[in-house]
Structure 1
Amino acid sequence: MSALEPRLIGTLYRAACLAELDALKPGNVHAYAAGHRMVVADFVTSADVSAPELARAGAGTGERVRAGIAATLAAVAQNTNLGIFLLCAPLAVAAERGLSVGAVLDDLDAADSVAVFAAIRLANPGGLGRAAKHDVAAEAPASLRAAMAEAADRDRIARAYGTGFSDIGLIGLPALAEARAQGLDPSWCTTAIHLAYLRSVPDSHIARKAGASVAEGVRLEVEAVLSGLDLAARPAEPLLALDASLKARGLNPGTSADFTVATLFWDALASAGAALA
């Protein structure tokens, strides 16, 4: 498998973060509209300061996550990218070492667990709550994947650690390929990825904060809005209406946005020669 240079990995990660911000993503912060007390500039700064940590040569998954979150909090004083880092750090390790994502996940060790738990405590993500087993406030377990498995039923990113990031291959990359086949420009291709996640699975960030039934309701709502909608026509008006409605209700599909960045990053790494699957 082809190994990529760390500097290139960092460049591709930053580009994926910025591309996600340029797209109209209902319910999230994007160039069309701010929301949830955050603005695009916060996320641009986060991408800038975290890219070197994401691409730190020789570092493991956990070390990259912890360092990236620390750099982000120092720069913007809020959690803008924990989910992004949890998804993108294993991709960066895989690309640098010339490994598959599955091989990187299989190789996670106790040090990765300690570092990721420290990063989660630093970020203090909304709606995290408490867990009977492997709670982040407690000592980190020896196995990060075991901890992720415990959270898999309530967190789609945690679930990804047990499925080899299958959602990217089953939802994100096919949506991107279809959008490109339709001739959509890059920003609308990104919108297509985000909408594919929104309509395919209940967003677990919404579920953690507002409940599973609300998350499923949003999924059905998105399905209804998208019925008959042609993204090639750049239908900004109905999508901005959905965006405003979600934000007015305090509903942020952040997990879908995180997976959108990871999908763009995966695609860019693969295009550069990384064999991640």
Structure 2
Amino acid sequence: MSGLSSAQIAAAYRVSCLDELDALKPGNVHAFADGHRMRVADFVASAEVSTPHLAQAGAGVGTRVRGGVKATLAATDQNTNLGILLLCAPLALAAERGGPLRPALQGVLEGLDPRDAADVFSAIRLANPGGLGRAERHDIHDPGAALLQAAMAEAAPRDRIARAYVTGFEDLFTIGLPALEAARARGLTPPWSTTAVFLAYLARVADSHIARKHGAARAEAVRVEAAALLSLDLGTAPVADLLAHDARLKAANLNPGTSADFTVATLFLDRLTAAAGVES
């Protein structure tokens, strides 16, 4: 079965990035409020300049990630989308290859090679994400580091995006897509269906971006607070309640960036599946 074209993948990625920005995501940057010294405009620019690299026909995962990060840094001088690119690049390649996306994605992950590792490690060094630290084995600062899968397995206990690489992106299929489907079943449409996806991640899993910067206990506290927000009826557009929580998180410099990255990837996967006309 033939896969999606570069143009189809590019359109799905770009719109998913922009849709995520339209949604009120407490603690993160969104159309209702900037934060963490970043503006919505930075993320819009990031989406625009990274799209050609993410959707580059025939390119490997590492090439897509590194190209997108370099273009983003040149345009914004900020790391606004490393996590997004790490999640979306394997999805893009899987969609390009064709067939049901989940097994195609597994094939992409199993086929990652030393070039992918070198390019991804280079991208991570360029982006220099907060709280990264160093690992005893397979450290990204080590030019002799092992294959990407080995490095991701090493980081998996402390980083949810790394964990995705060793679980076949399980969270997208067990948290993100079900949350999106449930939101639609309740009659929610964007941007509130997107907010529902974000809150599902934030309430289900302690955000690893917060954990890296502030510790596991603080990340768990944020998760518990997010779980309480699930009682809100998003169909009533509870802007005031969510903005109040947004302000509290930002005042404490708590940015659930991993949950936002997974939200973009969920929207992207959903669009790829619809465009391909096959089961995910």
C-alpha distance in 2 between matches for 1:66 and 1:121: 10
Q: What SS does structure 2 have at the residue aligned with 1:272?
A: helix
Quote the residue 1:115 is aligned against: 119
**Residues 64-91 of structure 1: CA deviation (Å, up to 9, x unaligned):** 0001100000000010000000000000
Quote the residue 1:223 is aligned against: 227
Deviation of 1:213 after TM superposition, in Å, equals 0.4
Give the conservation status (yes or no) of the 8 Å contact 1:4–1:95: yes
Q: 1:238 to 1:264 in 2, by over 3 A?
A: same
Quote the residue 1:269 is aligned against: 272
- The Cα RMSD (Å) is 1.1
2:195 is the counterpart of 1:202: no
Aligned-residue sequence identity (percent) comes to 65
Give the conservation status (yes or no) of the 8 Å contact 1:3–1:274: no
Q: What SS does structure 2 have at the residue aligned with 1:174?
A: helix
C-alpha distance in 1 between matches for 2:97 and 2:144: 26
Q: Match for 2:142: what amino acid?
A: A
Quote the residue 2:25 is aligned against: 25
Q: 1:242 to 1:2 in 2, by over 3 A?
A: farther
Deviation of 1:276 after TM superposition, in Å, equals 7.4
C-alpha distance in 1 between matches for 2:188 and 2:34: 24
Q: 1:121 to 1:276 in 2, by over 3 A?
A: farther
Quote the residue 1:243 is aligned against: 246
Under a length normalisation based on structure 1, what TM-score does the superposition of the two structures give?
0.97
Quote the residue 1:167 is aligned against: 171
2:259 is the counterpart of 1:256: yes
Unaligned runs of 5+ in 2: none
Give the conservation status (yes or no) of the 8 Å contact 1:117–1:140: no
C-alpha distance in 2 between matches for 1:185 and 1:57: 32
Q: 1:34 to 1:140 in 2, by over 3 A?
A: farther
Under a length normalisation based on structure 2, what TM-score does the superposition of the two structures give?
0.96
Aligned pairs for 1:126-141 within 5 A: 126-141=130-145
C-alpha distance in 2 between matches for 1:20 and 1:225: 18
How many residue pairs get aligned? The number is 276
